[in-house]
Chain A
Amino acid sequence: MSTQTVETDIKVHRIQVVNRNQEYLCRDDKSLLVGMELQNTQAIEVGCRGGGCGMCKIRILDGEFEKKRMSRAHVSEAEEGEGFALACRILPRGDMVIESDHFEPAQ
């Protein structure tokens, strides 16, 4: 178990990004995306960080999390049911396993 307490009431969780063969520790008060940036890790594309642009689209394979509202233009209800999400809107609540690079830029 990699979950640790860093500051009062803040825990960090281990995030595995399987398609990039990388992992990083993410604070539970930050999104998967911003937590990654704080660790100077590059495993997910960074866009608006606000659930709007879709660049950080991931698929969640395992783990507990909290989810904030994200753009339906990038994650449909059906996709959400299959574990797709925007990393900037996911707060980890335990160790997680994810797959990044699900954003498809316009051709």
Chain B
Amino acid sequence: MRKGVMRPGHIQLRVLDMKEALGHYRDLLGLIEVETDAEGRVYLKGWTEVDKFSVVLREADEPGMDFVGYKVLNNDVLDQLQKDLVEFGCNVEEIPAGELTGCGRRVRFDSPTGHMFEIYAEKEQTGKWGVSNVNPDAWPRGLTGMKATRFDHCLLYGDDIDGTLKLFCDVLGFDLAEQVLDENGDRVAQFLTASMKAHDVAFIKHPEKGKFHHASFFLDTWEDVLRAADLISMEDVSLDIGPTRHGLTHGKTIYFFDPSGNRTEVFCGGDYHYPDHEPVTWTTDQLGKAIFYHDRVLNERFLTALT
């Protein structure tokens, strides 16, 4: 049952070199650089995103994800969910408004898979970049690279995915849209949604806690994905796999790495989910097709290269 979580709102990633990272996220992906805060973190967004920022980059000596945040409907929802998270047993920390420039009070909590998440109700709304909210044109001139439209979701690897499923579904009101079950009927992958999208966050079972697999950005068309692939070759960017299609969610996709080894996806399409839909199930004997629908074979790197 929905509990007032609207959408993925921001993700903070650690990078080894900020200048190189901006070459990836701003110049190649085509995100809009918004500002640099007093700590040196750089804020970016996709051009269609109404809120001020969705990606925060922090320079550090270990790449990976600091946290991913979800926006909730209002402060009443935030207060209620904060209580529910404490009751569930999460370690909950309140981050004051303004710690991320332009973002209101955040409630940060840990999870059984070892990842840090946040919810918040308020963020400065600067509007879509380069288009008006009144009689808007189709798209703005001046976009660069892949012209990524928005931060869409992330995929995380961790051990207790059952515990994190319970947290996201029972406390935060996400639905299980798609899953992979092994021969014993145990879930080894789960795709969760707070919306109509096939996934707003996904988890794959893995022995280590707190690992980051990829951050994903939405493109409108398959032609845009192919053009992204061209740019990846033109710039000699580290490619993982693609362009291809997933069986899971049926998204059309390409995976590549930022200069610090954090994986990025750009994709288009994908299935939709309503709250009354039963989860879509793939079985591990068809895992190759589930992950890479065309190759039907997993590459080891997709399972092993994590930050």
Collect the chain B residues with CB atoms within 8 Å of residue A70's CB.
16
What is the bound-complex CA distance between A72 and B259, given in angstroms? Answer: 15
Cβ contact within 8 Å between B62 and A48: no
Cβ contact within 8 Å between B16 and A47: no
| Residue with the highest number of chain B CB atoms closer than 10 Å, among A47, A52, A55, A88 | A52
Given contacts A69-B16, A69-B17, A105-B304, contact A52 B257 (CB under 8 A): yes
What is the bound-complex CA distance between A42 and B307, given in angstroms? Answer: 23
Given contacts A105-B304, A106-B208, A107-B207, contact A50 B257 (CB under 8 A): yes
- Asked if B305 is an interface residue, CB under 8 A from chain A, the answer is yes
Distance (whole angstroms) from the CB of A29 to the closest CB of chain B: 11
Distance (whole angstroms) from the CB of B118 to the closest CB of chain A: 22
Q: Mark A37-74, 1 if CB is under 8 A from B, else 0.
A: 00000000011111111010000000000001111110
Distance (whole angstroms) from the CB of B114 to the closest CB of chain A: 12
Collect the chain B residues with CB atoms within 8 Å of residue A49's CB.
238, 257, 261
What is the bound-complex CA distance between A73 and B208, given in angstroms? Answer: 13
Cβ contact within 8 Å between A50 and B258: yes
Number of interface residues of B (CB under 8 A): 23
Distance (whole angstroms) from the CB of A71 to the closest CB of chain B: 5
Chain A interface mostly: loop
- Asked if B61 is an interface residue, CB under 8 A from chain A, the answer is yes
Distance (whole angstroms) from the CB of A65 to the closest CB of chain B: 18
Distance (whole angstroms) from the CB of A68 to the closest CB of chain B: 8
Given contacts A46-B301, A69-B17, A71-B307, contact A52 B208 (CB under 8 A): no
Given contacts A55-B301, A69-B16, A71-B16, contact A50 B64 (CB under 8 A): no
Distance (whole angstroms) from the CB of B24 to the closest CB of chain A: 9
Collect the chain B residues with CB atoms within 8 Å of residue A46's CB.
301
Name the residue on B nearest A53 (C-beta): B305
Q: Which residues of B contact A (CB under 8 A)?
A: 16-17, 61-64, 206-208, 238, 240, 257-263, 301, 304-307
CB-CB nearest 5 A-B residue pairs: A52-B261, A48-B261, A50-B261, A47-B305, A49-B238
